[in-house]
Structure 1
Amino acid sequence: MWLNSYSHFFKATIACTSLLLSPVVLPTLHAQEQNVVIINPTDSPAEIVRKAANVVPSARQFNWQRQELTAFLHYGINTYTGREWGDGKESPAIFNPTDLDADQWIRELKAAGFKCAILTCKHHDGFCLWPSAYTEHSVKNSPWKKGKGDVVREVSDACKKYGMNFGVYLSPWDRNSDLYGTEAYNDFFVKQLTELLTQYGKVSEVWFDGACGEGPNGKKQVYDFVRWYELIRKLQPEAVIAVMGPDVRWVGTETGRGREMEWSVVPKDNLDQDAIAKNSQKEVLTAPVGDMMGQDLGSRKKIEKAKSLIWYPAEIDVSIRPGWFYHEDQDSKVKSPKELMDIYFTSVGMNGVLLLNLPPNKEGKLSEADIRSLRGFRQLYANTFTDNLLAKAKVTCALSEGKGRNVIDDNYDTSVRPKMKDGKAVFSFKLNKPATFNVLSVQEDIRKGQRVEKFSLEVKDAKGNWKKVTEGTTVGHKRLLKFPVETAKEVRLIISEVRAVPAISEIGLYRLRD
């Protein structure tokens, strides 16, 4: 998969995308969808923090984050060559799945709790999984279904059948096209992108990576990202544009792990002050440029040096196997249910969205090893998170907005705002009887900003003393913390550092069993 060399290509792509420096603006959105804010040279550190606390996601970003679990389906000509990156010289004749079953792919993902499936419609080799009118390097020249097949159609139809969102991956790098490296290639790319955005119904995510290598003519391409973004906004306005796009950023690794401090509000310094001021009530259509792979992207220290701030949440991708495409010799190396559960904690539980890759095999199905692991993960998830041990507790907290029980009602939309005393807020819970737990879950209503900077959980012991059992920094959409097993009847969540009064949506205690 391209991420193995992402750092190299990230730098190369920045050089390829100078066109991003000029903002392209869409019509004015509602005020609550303002996801970018200017930082004036005269702003004090306190004013910058206040502004950061009031940056919120666009509607499409919020809907994307609420999915939590999304899937990548790496499938194509590489499945039949045993390679990760094809060279574009492959014969379409080798693409011939004997029993392609997109229904199985989506059915298993749906049962495991996934909300969106993204198909590699065209990888770097240029082979198209749909009968594109603009290239011969596609399924239309394969023996599969006598050239009448359309993998994109079958996957999108299966997504509709099971109520899943559908996303498309379209590689900007095309090692087959003779147009690559010329301005005509951008026209070619727009035509293929248009096919995907107009022929398969609703598209929820469009995924571009940073690969910008040489084509068959030895030339590199200057990608017209802004034109592509405009097209997506026109044809699929609800779709997020991911990774090399303005809506969703790559977390920076392919390990399935986010950061200890995973801020969704980060500097966006590739726009000049005048341009941002002019468009401050509008949504900006460019991708932030800079170090998006460091350990600290959005702390107070980082944002105080910014010229502008944007809501730019993290997508955390990882493959269930060592490779991204299917390789038979990796059937014994599939991640276990426990490993997938750990990844859930370090991705979704660190304010990200998990993008888990499951590559269909040569037959055209998800392998049994992958399915067993996926089902095992779902069972672990259900065993852990079905019942919030605080659900029937008595809640005590001084509030300026909402009711105490809102934080344990399993309804994300009913958040509360605590009254801060000496910069702190305390949520106290008294259970009917002692409970045993080792997982804390906290959620902010990110539609009202990401604001928590530090929090901790305390339990009252048998002697009536309060003991800290775990602590964390950022919360965002969801923060999960594991800690040694505790048994207690009274617990309290202490929010001790904030950028502004937060909107707390849900608080939960759970028992994770080995």
Structure 2
Amino acid sequence: MAVTIETAARVTPSERQLLWQQMEFYAFVHFGMNTFTGKQWGFGDEDPSLFNPTEFDANQWVQICQSAGMTGIILTCKHHDGFCLWPSSFTNHSVKFSPWKNGQGDMVREVADACRAHGLKFGVYLSPWDRHELSYGDSPAYNNYFLNQLTELLSNYGEIFCVWFDGACGEGKNGKRQQYDWDAYYTLIRDLQPNAVISVCGPDVRWCGNEAGHMRASEWSVVPASMKDNEKVHAKSQKVDDNSFSKRIDTREEDLGTREVLAQVDEVIWYPSEVDTSIRPNWFYDPADNDLVKTVDQLFELYEKTVGGNSCLLLNLPPDRRGLIHENDARNMSELGKKLRGTYGTNLARGASVRASGSGIGNGDALCILDGRSDTYWTTPEGVATAELEFDLGSIKLFDRIILQEYITSGQRVERFHLACKDSDEEEWRPLYDGTIIGYKRICRLNESRGRFFRLRIAEARLNPMISSFGVYITT
């Protein structure tokens, strides 16, 4: 039975999903044994004595993230090689058996503490695939081992905002393929960290489908329920260290949520997109990549297309063998932060007058669209799915960006919109932008122009549209 438009429009995020979406931009930090072996995927046979980041400084990581406007860090606490960045009680393949801090160090604790000291959120990546652990492939035994390690991470390091699972699944040393007990993992996470989103191989946040930073033109948060199992299918999981995987863009599923898709499925869920990509060609540090760091302009475009395309951006910053984020990465992140703050620090429409077609109901009148708050919105009367909002900025302004936001607490509704502007009341409207979805945030990238009056026309929506924010900006 097809999903109706009204049913899809009334699917809403959980509180944890809503708080996650508002984070927008945060860091992946791939660091571990691979940093010292020069591999991207280790085999689990590494000597722990190789791990010794003599200049490691968690505060440096955090300060660089903050300089770019990031809101959190997800640390690769254990990658596929099985080496743990905390002194796990369940393996000898960890920092406890390394020369770093004479075996007394706990990198997970230092990063978690540095994040909290500076106001960032902390999340964990724990690879289900473990190429060191002998029980891997003996499914019941290894699942118990994995749950024990997960319990350590979720019990001893304070509030966790995200548990990030990938679906990589190869054979164990016994030649058997492990059957991950995802439901048991999820139950434990909900019990120990109920506010944490479970990402990618999880029910809260979905993978965008590639590691190249590619975005769909219309990134729906309401998608077929079957998508929640996409990354858990063993036949589709990544099994080898294949660099082409990070560059692969699968365009077969560009449409995940239009009316045509809804007509073919019988259940939809709120399952928003996250884009994960690295500032360098590789996920773990490689000195050969020092001159291949994404430029400030590339990072700025990536931010606008992802965060401004109804997704969150998870950008990897791989520290080097010193245990520091390299100077080239640090410089570009700092410059990115300056560009983001310079561009989006001032809404040129703040204080404008607003004229709306229809009566404002819900939380306040149309002026609330300009109040900078996420908990207010303007909407048309129930049953009215089109709308027009006109803004008078009071004087002509130069601009090249417009930001729109829906009140996604009540769902994702807008399917098609148009933007226009003019310099005076007497002029005809000049078309600026034709768009499809808005969702949490839509950054409309424009050529530099000028205007005093702006019009947002909602041409099609699933129910009465709920608009939370309108902003006009100029890039610096």
Task: Confirm or deny a common fold (TM above 0.5).
Answer: yes
CA distance in 2, matches of 1:258, 1:91: 40
Q: Match of 1:119?
A: 75
2:415 corresponding residue in structure 1: 453
Deviates more, 1:53-62 or 1:422-431: 422-431
Structural mapping, 1:290-305, within 5 Å: 294-305=253-264
Q: Deviations over 1:132-164 (max 9, x none)?
A: 111111111101011111110110111110111
What TM-score, normalized to structure 2?
0.92
Distance 1:72 1:411 in 2: 28
* Aligned residue in 2 for 1:469: 432
How many residues are treated as equivalent by the alignment?
A: 454
The aligned residue for residue 243 of structure 1 is 200
Asked whether the equivalents of residues 385 and 465 of structure 2 are also in contact (C-alpha less than 8 Å), the reply is no
What is the 5 A alignment of 1:62-461? 62-182=18-138, 183-269=140-226, 287=229, 294-397=253-356, 398-401=358-361, 402-419=364-381, 423-460=385-422
Q: Is the 8 A contact 1:419 1:425 kept in 2?
A: no
Q: How far apart, in 1, do the equivalents of 2:329 and 2:211 lie?
A: 18
Shift of 1:111: 2.9
Q: CA deviation at 1:333?
A: 0.7
Mapped to 2, the partners of 1:163 and 1:429 lie a distance apart of 36
What amino acid sits opposite 1:416 in the alignment?
Answer: W
Which runs of 4 or more aligned residues in structure 1 lie more than 3 Å from their structure 2 counterparts after TM superposition?
A: 286-293, 419-423
Cα distance in 1, alignment partners of residues 108 and 223 from structure 2: 35
Residue number in structure 2 paired with 1:30: none
What is the aligned partner in structure 2 of residue 51 from structure 1?
Answer: 7
- Separation of aligned partners in 2, 1:255 and 1:418: 39
Q: Is the deviation greater in 447-456 or in 211-220? A: 211-220
Q: Could you tell me how far 1:419 is from its partner in structure 2?
A: 4.6
Secondary structure at the aligned position of 1:325 is classed as coil
Q: Is the 8 A contact 1:186 1:224 kept in 2?
A: yes
Give the secondary-structure state (helix, strand or coil) at the position aligned to 1:332: coil
Q: Does the CA-based 8 Å contact 1:248-1:314 persist in structure 2?
A: yes
In structure 2, what is the Cα distance between the partners aligned to 1:155 and 1:212?
27
Residue 33 of structure 1 is matched in structure 2 by none
Letter in 1 for 2:173: P
Once the two structures are TM-superposed, the CA of residue 287 in structure 1 deviates from its matched residue by 4.3
Q: Give the superposition deviation at 1:62.
A: 0.4
Counterpart residue type for residue 87 of structure 2: P
Secondary structure at the aligned position of 2:330 is classed as: helix
Deviation at 1:484, TM superposition (A): 1.3
1:387 Cα offset (Å): 0.9
CA contact (8 A) 1:326 1:361 kept: yes
Task: Give, in whole Å, the separation in 2 of the partners of 1:77 and 1:350.
Answer: 35
Tell me if the contact between 1:444 and 1:504 (Cα under 8 Å) persists in the aligned partners. yes
Deviation, structure 1 residue 110: 2.1
SS in 2 for 1:261: coil
Moved more, 225-234 or 251-260: 251-260
Alpha carbons 1:268, 1:288 under 8 Å: kept: no
Q: Which amino acid aligns with 1:247?
A: D
Q: What is the CA–CA distance in structure 1 between the aligned matches of 2:57 and 2:411, rounded to whole Å?
A: 42
Q: CA deviation at 1:362?
A: 0.3
Q: Per the alignment, do residues 413 and 346 of structure 1 end up closer, same or farther by CA in structure 2, a change over 3 Å counting?
A: same
Task: Find the counterpart in structure 2 of residue 10 from structure 1.
Answer: none
CA contact (8 A) 1:269 1:306 kept: no
Aligned partner (choices 475, 484, 498) of residue 447 of structure 2? 484
Show CA shifts across 1:316-364 (max 9, x none). 1110011000111111111111111100111100000000000111000
Letter in 1 for 2:372: D
* C-alpha deviation, 1:176, in angstroms: 0.6
| Alignment partner of 1:60 is 2:16 | yes
SS in 1 for 2:338: helix
Amino acid at match of 1:225: W
Q: Identity of aligned pairs, percent?
A: 46
Unaligned runs of 5+ in 1: 1-40, 271-285
Q: Is contact 2:171-2:178 (8 Å) kept?
A: yes
* Contact 1:246/1:288, CA 8 A, preserved across alignment: no
Aligned residue for 1:333, secondary structure, equals: coil
**Equivalent residues of 1:461, 1:467 under 8 A apart:** no
Whole-Å separation in 2 of the counterparts to 1:375 and 1:110: 9
- Cα offset for 1:418? 2.8
**Structure 1 residues 166 and 422: CA distance shift in structure 2, 3 A:** closer
TM-score of the aligned structures, taking structure 1 as reference length: 0.86
Q: Distance in 2 between matches of 1:485 and 1:413?
A: 31
Corresponding residue for residue 27 of structure 1? none
Unaligned runs of 5+ in 2: 237-249
Task: Assess, with a 3 A threshold, how the Cα gap between structure 1 residues 58 and 421 changes in structure 2: closer, same or farther.
Answer: closer
1:198-237 CA deviation, whole Å, 9 max, x = no partner?
0111111000001011122222100000000000000000
